[in-house]
Amino acid sequence: MAFKDLRDYISALEQHGQLKRVDREVDWNIEAGAISRLVYEKGLPSPLFENVTGYPGYRLFGAPISTFSKLAIALGLDPETSIKELINFYLEKKKDLVKPVFVDKSQAPCKENIDIGDQVDLMKFPSPMLHEGDGGRYLCTWHINVSKDPDTGWINWGCYRAMVSGKNTLTGPVSPAKHMGSQYQKYKAKNIPMPFAIAIGPEPVSGFIAGARVAANLYEAELVGALRQEPIELVKCETVDLEVPAGSEIVIEGEISLTEKDWEGPFGEFVGYSATGRNKAPVWNVKAITYRNNPIITMSNTGVPVDEYHLDVGLVRSAELYNRLRADGIPVVAVNAPPEGVGFLVIVSVSGNTPNIAEKVTSSIWSSPQGSNAPFVFVVNDDVDVFNIWEVMHAMVTKCHPYRDIWRVERASAIPFMTFLNAYERQHRLGAKVYFDCTWPTDWDPVSEIPPKISFDANYSHEVKEHVLKNWENYGFIRLA
């Protein structure tokens, strides 16, 4: 059964021991952020701060989907569901998209309070200062940005950070490389300010998909319905022609200016560094705010893996690249874009004995929207579990020749978050890419040249393995998962 809203999801986390209610007073200024960051790095239950300094009646919810167990709960699955099973679930459910349903404003919890025009005051919300060194307080770090293509009408859901810069203004980057950024360029060409809506604290699947970078022209609300296995309820905004999840905690509406800019950043980024400095970014003029009673502000405190960004991009990229490789005729077995790789690493296992298979795999990945910004690719044989980093590392150091099996591409496309680039390269987006061929050479004799693998699965007969596993607990060991 799908969760109706964020509050239902929080209750489910609590039932599974994955939520920590914090009754003690906690300051929005750094303290809540520091607690949340440690939660990510230790894999702990998500904190719900119920007593925020200076903001009675408001709550902060940190690390909303910070582990694969929490993602499984959000999807209505067993918390022990494996990463591979989550990917297969995504691929299966995506086949049948489910259109959203629209509800009347009187039925939408996000309309319990409505502030328009001079009533608008972003300062009434406990926007957190997440990292020491951040350029300001970020109200929008785990949410849905809703925007519409002025030519085609395509509605995009994304998750793009925004900093509070005034009573009725936000400031945030609008990159042309992102879907919302490409729409913004069309509004600029027409000299029309771009309408936007930001839904903070939606039900969890919506929040997950908004940050997952699915294909252009796909309406994320329909994918959310497919994954929830029931339609998401949407409601019309007050001042812009857009719709948002009706159960959202807070909805911010307005227009992104074509001419006004203000300072934004720096901000602690998904790469684990404060990587992009302080820059001028478009001003988001807020016309209306609607919100629930006692609203909950969600916050994703990005940094070293693993947090929401890494889980979103990792799982969806793995699934989409698997489909891409299959469509390109690659004998792909599995794909893993591990969250620890911050979106920069893709690991692929292949079957058979195809010449130049690593080159074919990598060409397919780098020419796809989901893999174009992944500068590191590992290709392994199907005897390697791509979800087991131990096995991947073993394949790399035993099958990948340090000279002939590592292929570099210079002057490749890049993004400014790639901290290994120097200042000039980051400014001009000049990067490099590399792939590691961790498969056995196709011209090696399988008997005389390929050494036999020594592991429990590979080295012992079926009868021996069956006997050992059957008696495992009798030997005095705990039951294997």
455 pLDDT above the threshold of 90: no
What pLDDT score was predicted for residue 393? 95
Residue 476: inside a domain, yes or no?
no
State whether 92 and 236 are in the same domain: yes
459 pLDDT above the threshold of 90: no
141 pLDDT above the threshold of 90: yes
Check residues 202 and 415 and name the one with the higher pLDDT: 202
State whether 274 and 384 are in the same domain: no
Among residues 283, 299, 315, the one where a domain terminates is 299
Q: Mean pLDDT of all residues in the chain?
A: 92
* Mean pLDDT on 264-276: 80
* Mean pLDDT on 159-167: 95
What pLDDT score was predicted for residue 329? 96
Q: Is residue 1 very low, low, confident or very high in pLDDT (cuts 50, 70, 90)?
A: low
By C-alpha distance, which of 299, 314, 209 is closest to 250? 299
State whether 283 and 391 are in the same domain: no
State whether 139 and 223 are in the same domain: yes
What pLDDT score was predicted for residue 435? 94
State whether 295 and 333 are in the same domain: no
State whether 138 and 206 are in the same domain: yes
* Mean pLDDT on 421-438: 87
Check residues 305 and 15 and name the one with the higher pLDDT: 15
Residue 220: inside a domain, yes or no?
yes
State whether 333 and 288 are in the same domain: no
At 249-261, the pLDDT tens digits run: 999 999 999 999 9
State whether 234 and 156 are in the same domain: yes
Most confident option among 135-144, 307-316, 365-374: 135-144
State whether 45 and 157 are in the same domain: yes
152 pLDDT above the threshold of 90: yes
102 pLDDT above the threshold of 90: yes
At 324-346, the pLDDT tens digits run: 999 999 999 999 999 898 888 99
| Domain carrying residue 266 | 6-299
Round to whole Å and give the CA distance between 353 and 381: 9
Residue 162: inside a domain, yes or no?
yes
Residue 295: inside a domain, yes or no?
yes
What pLDDT score was predicted for residue 204? 96
CA dihedral sign of residues 273, 274, 275, 281: positive
245 pLDDT above the threshold of 70: yes
CATH number at residue 191: 2.30.110.10
Residue 461: inside a domain, yes or no?
no
Residue 19: inside a domain, yes or no?
yes
Residue 248: inside a domain, yes or no?
yes
State whether 72 and 149 are in the same domain: yes
| Residues constituting the chain | 481
What pLDDT score was predicted for residue 412? 83
Domain count, the chain: 2
- The percentage of the chain sitting over the pLDDT mark of 90, rounded to a whole number, equals 75
Residue 312: inside a domain, yes or no?
no
Residue written as tokens 């908004």? 210
Q: Is residue 305 very low, low, confident or very high in pLDDT (cuts 50, 70, 90)?
A: confident
What pLDDT score was predicted for residue 457? 86
* Mean pLDDT on 398-409: 94
Cβ neighbours for 338, distance < 8 A, ≥ 6 positions apart:
314, 345, 347, 387, 389
Round to whole Å and give the CA distance between 87 and 71: 11
